Structure 1
Amino acid sequence: MQYWLMKSEPDDVAITDLASRGTVGWYGVRNYQARNFMRDTQQVGDGVLFYHSSCAEPGIAGFARIISEPYPDPTQFDPESTYFDPKASPEKPRWMQRDVGFVRQTRLLPLAEMRQYPELANMLVLQKGSRLSITPVSEAEWTFIQDLLA
């Protein structure tokens, strides 16, 4: 099993939305490295730190799981979508998504608080210039955060 931090803007999909729906398709990823993580590396059952980004107080808002194999992100084909990609076609999709299932909501673990723990110092989300929406998390970081938010 592997572990991931996946960023979502709460104005679009918040942890409360995932809790009420039970599952969401992780759409709109338009970075090749993040896409490759979803397409090639993530596995069904992997753990997810659900992270609220681009908001007043960014941070980890809960836990989720990868619950599907990768499949084409339908927003790439929709000219009305902000995620439309004119170079993508159903025959040759460029962007993938996976379904993510709700595990539990937690108190918000703000980015500022995360920076205070030496156990989390190497997390990619805490590195200067790191803007990827999907990043791997070590087992030690995952366990520390699970214990912290228990």
Structure 2
Amino acid sequence: MVDKPSVRIPVPAEDVFAILADGWLYALWVVGTTHIREVDADWPSVGTRIHHSVGGWPLARHDTTVVLAVDAPHRLELRARLWPLGAARIVLSLVELRPDLTEVRIVERACEGPGRRLPAGFQDRAFAPRNRESLQRLAALAVGRAVTGFT
């Protein structure tokens, strides 16, 4: 069994969620996203989208990520395409361990296409490296914003 990727960030949950709630920052922490083209005005309301590119030039392709559920500042559930496996459901959970310490957990599962037939354990192992790196980038962004006072 693979541990679900998580990271502890020494900032309040509201500050971490503020990064998730700014769709223009998505490419800074989500591994594979290379360019944000547009963010729906009400992001991250249910049904809103981030229009972005994935992959490097010249093989980059246009893509979207949509909000399935939101409970700010505790949970954000997204649907993202997962080429060539279909689409994935990503759940980001924020648990405030102390007022100045938040644990962020991520679970990603293929939910459409041939990837959904893969066993959960295989998916965990396949997605874990990318998700760990994404969480490390999110943590660095949150800590950097806290240190500089940027909001």
Tell me which of the two structures has the higher relative contact order, counting C-alpha pairs closer than 8 angstroms and 6 or more residues apart.
Answer: 1
**TM-score (normalised: structure 1):** 0.25
More strand by share: 2
The structure in which a higher percent of residues are helix is 2
